[in-house]
Structure 1
Amino acid sequence: MTGRFPESVDVAVVGSGPCGAAYIRVLSERRPDLRLATFEVGPLLADPPGLHVKNIADPAAREHAQRRSQGPGTAAADGRLARPGTYLLESGHTEPGGDGLPNAAMSSNVGGMGAHWTAACPRPGDSERIDFLPGLDELLDEAERLLGVDAHAFDDAPFAAEVRKRLADALDTDRPPERRVRPMPLAVHRAPDGAVTWSGSDVVYGDVSRANARHTLFPEALVTRVLVEKGRATGVRVKDMRTGTEHTVLAAHVVVAADALRTPQLLWASGIRPAALGRCLNDQPQLVYAVRLRDVTASDGDSDGVGLARHSGVSWVPYTDAEPFHGQVMQLDASPVPLADDDVPAPGSIVGLGWFCAKDVRAEDRVEFDADRVDGYGMPAMRIHYSLTARDHATLTAARAAVRRAAHALGDPLDPEPRLVALGASLHYQGTVRMGPTDDGTSVCAPTGEVWGVRALHVAGNGVIPTPTACNPTLTSVALAVAGARHVADSTRQEGK
């Protein structure tokens, strides 16, 4: 699947994360005759391309893959700490007068953040849903197929059923049946022997993409510009990161699926600057808490760092309009905080609670780009303007109360209060190239993902999501990518390609 650059293709895809992979998968299934190319700024980590790093059995090899994903950024000596496989913004993450996103992070590697994510795939509900998008549920079904989602991978985990029962007793009273506590749908595969592997972009690509001789993946290839003529995308300008040389690749259609920060960056660098570009930046303020389960017996579950231990499971407390946050409760192999020397808990008896809050979406929260400064790739430097509003603080207050209820139902909290994680740490950035029903200046693209005013240019990824979601966004963004890929497949057919 690797090689160097052609002179022209039918569809050029920028980014090899789950959404870029979804475009290639759908086009490989629907239009196997098209010439497809994917350009990824980062390196190829493993075989198959896009493999989740947690599936790399050797710990040293896994750590090496994570380090190679960390781009030109920093691990930060200023108190910020990037997660393995990601890198932080060097500067511009917190502008004067705002809260900023100090932990805003990215990954540069084949598979994108899909090589490092936690694989949670909840469906959006209530106001999280995109009400103007036809056929959303069918698109979510298709996204589950591409990601290999399983809602029952850990139904037999020793503590999982008890955790869900305790959560349900404390939280489900006023919830509609479809938004009650349940197992978290996860993009994982469980083998007959119980071994668990994580879905990365490799699963989304699937065998059909890997067998498609008309698709080529180009690692270490930085797209610096989308070419536009007479209101239509005509190709991309690509820098070969191995040699430093630049090349023009013509394309009948271009898809930018970088991430919610670098997709608007590339459009801005290309002179494509609709009013909504970079605006409505939406992180998910996150509260975390740790609890020792009450009255549980020891489990013999174990983990080698590749999959989840047998006693582990993930429970989901869905978002509702009445409680605009969602929770996930993950059983941990060890306490995330120090325990007393004489306190040795049963394996798996410490659970972590993470509550994600829906952001008060505002145009003022935005990522801007600097014409006079560049980042480590030579692209326009980012400046993030972002603040929590009074409404956000009210949501956090309500979420803290919900987390406390959940924690005390489960057992004994290990900290006095839930902790607000540094902003940006969710890695769930959205809204910067948001979808809208009409070209009214408040959105960047149509429901098909096509950028307003630039034919044959599509955007994809979490940045397309227009709603104030609290649930993990990957399933939704892949569903939107499916819609966009179908539109490209239909458009190329109408154009006679």
Structure 2
Amino acid sequence: MSRYPESVDVAIVGSGPTGAAYARILSERAPNATIAMFEVGPTVSSPPGSHVKNIEDVAARASAQERSEGPGAGAATVSSPGAVKAGDRMARPGTYLLDDGYAFDGEDGLPVVAFSSNVGGMGAHWTGACPRPGDSERIAFLPDLDELLDEADRLLGVTTDAFDGAPYTRLVRERLAAAVDDGRPAGRRVQRMPLAVHRRDDGRLVWSGSDIVFGDATRQHPNFTLFDESLVTRVLLEDGRAAGVTVRDLRNDRVHVVKARFVVVAADALRTPQVLWASGIRPLALGRMLNDQSQVVFAARIRDGVPASAPRHAPAGQSDEHDVVAGTLSEESGVTWVPFTDAAPFHGQIMQLDASPVPLAEDDPAEPGTIVGLGLFTAKDLQWDDRVEFSDDVTDFYGMPAMRIHYRLTDRDRAVLDRAREEIVRLGNAVGEPIDERPFTMPLGASLHYQGSVRMGEVDDGLSVCGPYSEVWSAPGVFVAGNGVIPTATACNPTLTSVALAARGARRIADELHATEFHERKLEHDSRRTR
């Protein structure tokens, strides 16, 4: 027998933070709705969708990461400094790379474009940074953007004080502020990085994943069910409108149809357009305006700083040798944010960087936290021809249309990158003593912040896939979610914005469900009166 229902009100494809946001908002606003969520990967953490960094056992965490790597499971990952710097094409733990189709002759491509296949998606592996967009990063045609960002803060459990006790965090922030803040408006000055993390009473950190977004409202919702190891191969339409999904149960390879009044495709910025393409939903803008954030990294040693007197907490799930070598977030230096502005078009994330190409800890073991990693992200010069295409003849590991990525840096992109390299050296000198002669530019795709492939538009002018509520222009009832919906060029981490846009779409579905429920009740009432 099928483990899937015959029909639901809403089918959600993908269990990352944005898919979870749809489930949460619908659970709160449409409690009578039936919701089925489908995830191609397995459940790797408890509760389902939680961040793997919350798994304290080292071996268990490594197993969860490997089980998230889909077709790449068992391959070597970036687990030591120098691996990326040496030019090896390796994924980070918990992710996997495209085998081919990531670059073509005469193009830059996205050589380390990566995916995760697990309940919680990339939200089980991310750094948790949740800065707000500013200046040209903002979506000008959304009048309620700030309220939506507030809602995303709530859903993700964003805080700014989790690292206030870190001995070097104030020192790092003050030195950067002295170098950056002059002439900036108050909201775009150097500040604490908003993070999807909170600290328990016992001092340990809890990183937000989809489990935090789901919340009790979703977990306790009697009409919500999450199905793992379930590949949605197609969105079904009737008379041009959403009618359900075709799903393949990867446990037994059987195919089933689940009818639905609304379908939300929240796979990721590359697999969401893949599902639409496989479904015959192929607007001109599908896969177009694909953009990544180029990333420059550097490191500096704090030589003459005196750490603040503060208690040191044991890092949750980060005290083992693997995490120290990989350069994960330091409890001593915390995370500082240098916001993007149009005048200074970089987003700065000052922390111990995951998978850093620079040895951040091994040369100074006597004073943890004195090696500070700096990262600057740059916004892409958006181009119509930067795109992901799909094959009608060749399939990938999952049997879905194979991807082909076409991507080039423009002269403007290269000029901004040159500015970023100069700026990060200046910031490194402001923090302390640089430990490398020059910054390192990460391979394209390393940010994991792919955007634009199912972009939102104010009007249906052929340049966007969906409208302001994330509903696909050409397929009413089909909604898209994730970083791919963001229509602007951003340098800041996109998850907060993506969850904000998901909240807007989920509210629209809840309103339509209420309207339909009211109409059905009225018809039933009128029918009884005529009898």
- Quick one: which amino acid aligns to residue 445 of structure 1? C
- Quick one: which amino acid aligns to residue 89 of structure 1? L
- Quick one: which amino acid aligns to residue 71 of structure 1? G
CA offsets 1:213-269 (integer angstroms, 9 cap, x no match): 100000000000000111101000000000000000000000000000000000001
- Tell me which residue corresponds to 1:35: 34
- Tell me which residue corresponds to 2:317: 305
For the structure 1 residues 342 and 362, does the alpha-carbon distance in structure 2 shift closer, same or farther, using more than 3 Å as the test? closer
Contact 1:255 1:458 in 2 (8 A): yes
Name which of 364, 367, 383 aligns with 1:346. 367
- Tell me which residue corresponds to 2:465: 444
| 1:265-284 equivalence runs, <5 A | 265-284=274-293
Contact 1:157 1:310 in 2 (8 A): yes
Structure 1 CA distance for aligned equivalents of residues 474 and 76 of structure 2:
39
Structure 2 CA distance for aligned equivalents of residues 70 and 27 of structure 1:
30
- Tell me which residue corresponds to 1:415: 436
For the structure 1 residues 322 and 332, does the alpha-carbon distance in structure 2 shift closer, same or farther, using more than 3 Å as the test? closer
CA offsets 1:357-389 (integer angstroms, 9 cap, x no match): 000011110000011111000000000000110
Name which of 479, 484, 494 aligns with 1:463. 484
Structure 1 CA distance for aligned equivalents of residues 303 and 103 of structure 2:
41
Contact 1:301 1:309 in 2 (8 A): no
TM-score by length of 2: 0.90
- Quick one: which amino acid aligns to residue 290 of structure 1? A
What is the Cα deviation at residue 305 of structure 1? 3.3
| Matched position secondary structure for 1:16 | coil
| 1:14-413 equivalence runs, <5 A | 14-73=13-72, 75=75, 79-297=88-306, 302-303=314-315, 305-306=317-318, 310-331=331-352, 337-338=358-359, 344-413=365-434
Structure 2 CA distance for aligned equivalents of residues 208 and 340 of structure 1:
42
Structure 1 CA distance for aligned equivalents of residues 92 and 289 of structure 2:
25
- Tell me which residue corresponds to 1:454: 475
Structure 2 CA distance for aligned equivalents of residues 351 and 377 of structure 1:
40
In structure 2, the gaps of 5 or more residues are: 78-86, 320-328, 521-531
Structure 2 CA distance for aligned equivalents of residues 273 and 316 of structure 1:
39
Do residues 434 (structure 1) and 455 (structure 2) align? yes
CA offsets 1:281-324 (integer angstroms, 9 cap, x no match): 01000000011113135796654634865424000000000111
| Matched position secondary structure for 1:455 | coil
What is the Cα deviation at residue 344 of structure 1? 4.5
- Tell me which residue corresponds to 2:514: 493
Q: 73-82 or 369-378: which moved more?
A: 73-82
| Matched position secondary structure for 2:72 | coil
Q: CA RMSD in A?
A: 2.0
CA offsets 1:413-455 (integer angstroms, 9 cap, x no match): 1111111000001000000000000000000000100000211
| Matched position secondary structure for 2:449 | coil
Contact 1:17 1:257 in 2 (8 A): yes
Structure 2 CA distance for aligned equivalents of residues 49 and 340 of structure 1:
33
What is the Cα deviation at residue 79 of structure 1? 2.5
Structure 1 CA distance for aligned equivalents of residues 362 and 399 of structure 2:
51
Spell out structure 1 runs of 4+ moving beyond 2 A: 73-79, 296-310, 331-345
- Quick one: which amino acid aligns to residue 218 of structure 2? S
| Matched position secondary structure for 1:267 | helix
Q: 151-160 or 386-395: which moved more?
A: 151-160
Structure 2 CA distance for aligned equivalents of residues 358 and 178 of structure 1:
19
Structure 2 CA distance for aligned equivalents of residues 350 and 306 of structure 1:
17
Contact 2:8 2:259 in 1 (8 A): yes
TM-score by length of 1: 0.96
Structure 1 CA distance for aligned equivalents of residues 138 and 361 of structure 2:
45
- Tell me which residue corresponds to 1:9: 8
Aligned residue pair count: 495
Contact 1:333 1:348 in 2 (8 A): no
CA offsets 1:309-357 (integer angstroms, 9 cap, x no match): 5424000000000111110101479996459998655111001001000
For the structure 1 residues 160 and 378, does the alpha-carbon distance in structure 2 shift closer, same or farther, using more than 3 Å as the test? same
What is the Cα deviation at residue 191 of structure 1? 1.6
Structure 1 CA distance for aligned equivalents of residues 188 and 394 of structure 2:
46
